[in-house]
C-alpha cells in the first residue's frame, strides 16, 4: 500500500457529532480535505446547513444529520436515516460540554447534564453506528477525550470524571469490537483555542500559567488535531486499537 493511500479517505463517509463549531468543525473539514464525505451533526439544523454549504462551496461533500446525541431514541432514528443513504465508515464522537464550579457546590442537574452529554452520548452513538460496522466487518470510531482524562484541575472534577470515562469506554469498545474488524481509539486534546475554552483564552493569568505549564509554551490550534484524526480514520492505523492519542503540546509528559 502506498503512503498516500494510508491517509486517503476517498469514498468513505464520516459522521462527526458536535461539528457546527470548534474541534468538531475542524475535524469534519480535515476529513473532507482528505476525501471523506462528512455528515455534520448537532441540534441546530440551520447552523449545520450553513457549515455544509460552506464545505460544498469548496468542493467537498457534506450532509446534515440534526439530532440530539443525548437522546437514545433520537440517536437510533438519526443513525438509521444516515445509514439509509450509505454506510457510516467513520464515526467521530466529539459532542461535549463543560461547566465550572467548586466541587462542594456543584449543581446536581449540571452533573447529570455532563454525564449525558460527555459520556452517554458516546455510548449511544457508538452503539448505534457499530451495529452497521459489525455487520460489514469494518469501521473506525474515534472518541474525543481530553487532557483531563489524565490530569485534573480545580473546579472541573465532574468534567474530568466524564473524560476519564470516555478514555476507558474507548478501551472497552475496542476490546468488544476489534474482533469484528473495528478500530476504536480516542484523541485527547490539550488546551486549544475553542468556544468551549473562550473564557480561559481571554484570561491573561490562565494563559500565562498555561504557557509555562506546557512544554510547547502556547495554546493549540484546532487544525493541529486534524492529522491525528486522519491517521486514526484511515488505513494507517489498521492495527491501532483502544489507544488514546494525546495531542497536548507535551503537557501530560511534563511535571
Location of C-alpha cell 445509514: 83
Q: DSSP code of 192?
A: B
pLDDT score for 199: 87
CB 241 within 8 A of CB 174: yes
For the stretch 94-128, pLDDT in tens is 999 999 999 999 999 999 999 999 999 999 999 99
Angle at 145 between CA 56 and CA 106, to 5 degrees: 115
Correct CATH for 3-246 of 3.30.70.270, 3.40.50.720, 2.30.110.10, 3.40.50.150: 3.40.50.720
- CA dist 126 and 174 (Å) reads 11
Percentage of the chain exceeding pLDDT 90 = 95
- pLDDT band for 198, please (50, 70, 90 cuts): confident
Kindly write down the DSSP assignment for every residue of 59-94, as one continuous string.
T--EEEEE--TT-HHHHHHHHHHHHHHS---EEEE-
How many Cβ atoms are within 10 Å of 115's Cβ, its own excluded? 16
Grid cell in block for residue 91:
464515526
Query: Is there a catalytic annotation at residue 159?
Result: yes
> Residue 14 belongs to what H/E stretch?
strand 13-16
pLDDT for residue 236: 97
The answer to whether the Cα torsion of 237, 243, 248, 249 is positive or negative is negative
157 vs 56: CA distance, rounded Å: 40
Q: φ, ψ for residue 171 (rounded to 5)?
A: -60, -45
For residue 49, pLDDT beyond 80: yes
In order of 98, 103, 198, 217, the CA distances from 141 in angstroms are: 22, 32, 28, 31
Task: Name the average pLDDT for the chain.
Answer: 96
Instruction: List phi, psi (to 5°) of 30.
Output: -65, -45
pLDDT at 255 over 90: no
- Using CA atoms, how far apart are residues 124 and 119, in angstroms rounded to an integer? 9
pLDDT level of residue 212 (50, 70, 90 thresholds) = very high
- Please, are residues 136 and 88 in contact by the beta-carbon 8 Å criterion? no
Q: Which residues of 140-162 are buried (b: 16+ CB within 10 A; e: fewer)?
A: bbbbbbbbbbbeeeeebbbbbbb
Given 159, 177, 231, 246, which residue is catalytic? 159
pLDDT digits (tens, 9 = 90+) for 31-42: 999 999 999 999
**Is 0.75 surpassed by the pTM of this model?**
yes
How many residues are there in the chain? Answer: 255
Going from N- to C-terminal start, the domains of the chain cover 3-246
Amino acid at each position: 500500500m502506498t503512503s498516500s493511500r494510508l491517509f486517503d479517505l476517498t469514498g468513505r463517509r464520516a459522521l462527526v457529532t458536535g461539528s457546527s463549531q470548534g474541534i468538531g468543525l475542524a475535524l469534519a473539514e480535515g476529513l473532507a480535505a482528505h476525501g471523506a464525505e462528512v455528515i455534520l451533526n448537532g441540534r441546530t439544523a440551520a447552523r449545520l446547513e450553513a457549515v455544509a454549504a460552506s464545505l460544498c462551496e469548496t468542493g467537498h461533500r457534506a450532509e446534515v444529520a440534526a439530532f440530539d446525541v443525548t437522546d437514545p431514541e433520537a440517536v437510533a432514528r438519526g443513525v438509521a436515516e444516515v445509514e439509509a443513504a450509505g454506510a457510516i465508515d467513520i464515526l467521530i464522537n466529539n459532542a461535549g460540554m463543560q461547566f465550572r464550579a467548586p466541587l462542594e457546590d456543584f449543581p446536581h442537574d449540571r452533573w447529570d447534564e455532563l454525564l449525558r452529554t460527555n459520556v452517554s452520548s458516546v455510548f449511544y452513538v457508538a452503539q448505534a453506528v457499530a451495529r452497521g460496522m459489525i455487520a460489514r466487518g469494518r469501521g473506525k470510531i474515534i472518541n474525543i477525550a481530553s487532557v483531563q482524562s489524565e490530569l485534573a484541575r480545580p473546579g472541573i472534577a465532574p468534567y474530568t470524571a466524564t473524560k476519564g470515562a470516555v478514555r476507558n469506554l474507548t478501551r472497552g469498545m475496542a476490546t468488544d469490537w476489534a474482533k469484528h474488524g473495528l478500530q476504536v481509539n480516542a484523541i485527547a486534546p490539550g488546551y486549544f483555542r475553542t468556544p468551549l475554552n473562550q473564557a480561559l483564552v481571554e484570561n491573561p493569568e490562565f494563559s500565562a500559567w498555561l504557557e509555562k505549564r506546557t512544554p510547547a509554551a502556547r495554546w493549540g490550534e484546532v487544525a493541529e488535531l486534524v492529522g491525528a484524526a486522519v491517521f486514526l480514520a484511515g488505513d494507517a492505523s489498521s492495527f491501532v486499537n483502544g489507544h488514546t492519542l494525546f495531542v497536548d503540546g507535551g503537557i501530560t509528559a511534563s511535571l
